[in-house]
Amino acid sequence: MEKHELTCIQCPIGCALTVTVDGENVTVTGNTCPRGRVYGIKEVTHPSRTVTSTVPVTDGEIPRLSVKTRTDIPKEKIFDVMEVIRKTKVKAPVNLGDVIIENVCGTGTDVIATKSVK
């Protein structure tokens, strides 16, 4: 049995959650609404985040292109994804939404441009 102490981020109240994992059984206490329960379970079983960063862009009006993972990726993959982003360079022009890295680190999601650079 393991216990996790979390702060709920579903609203400004910020309930202090205790999530207990006992095999298949996940229980949440400390929440004051159903959203807190859903959040607590997800944070402990499949935490995920969107990663945002920048890559250098040559021949463009500005030197850096901002990028993001199109969807959330598993939290434990954040630093692997950053490693790949850090080795990436692109050439202008780039349009918002262009795929910069396909299926990054086998997560099934692409890294895409969040800016247009002429």
Partner 1 sequence: MQSHDIVIIGGGPAGLAAAEAAYDAGARDILILERDVRLGGILNQCIHNGFGLHTFGEELTGPEYAERYINMVEERGIRYKLRTIVADIDENKRVTYVNGEEGAVTVQAKAIILAMGCRERPRGALGLPGYRPAGIFTAGTAQRLMNIEGYLVGRRVFVLGSGDIGLIMARRMTLEGATVCGVAELMPYSGGLNRNIVQCLNDYNIPLKLSHTVTMIHGKERVTGVTISEVDGNRRPIPGTEEYYDCDTLLLSCGLLPENELSKSAGIELDRVTGGPVVNDRLQCSVPGVFACGNVLHVHDLVDFVSEEAERAGKNAAHYVAEGEGSDGEATVLKAGPGVRYTVPQTLDAGLMDESVKVRFRVSDVYRDRSVSLYYDGRLISKRKKRIMAPGEMEELILKKSSFDRPVSEIRIAVED
Residues engaged in binding partner 1 (CB under 8 A):
6-7, 9, 12-14, 32, 49-54, 56, 61-64, 66, 68, 75, 78-79, 82, 86, 96, 114-116
Under 8 Å between Cβ of 81 and 67: no
C-beta of 20: minimal distance to partner 1 in Å? 19
Task: Give the three-state DSSP class for 107.
Answer: coil
Comparing CB distances to partner 1, the nearer of 14 and 108 is 14
C-beta of 4: minimal distance to partner 1 in Å? 11
Comparing CB distances to partner 1, the nearer of 22 and 91 is 91
Strand segments, DSSP code E, in 30-109 are 48-49, 52-58, 64-69, 73-74, 90-91, 99-101
Task: Give the three-state DSSP class for 53.
Answer: strand
Comparing CB distances to partner 1, the nearer of 29 and 66 is 66
Comparing CB distances to partner 1, the nearer of 46 and 79 is 79
Residue 115: closest CA among 85, 93, 88:
93
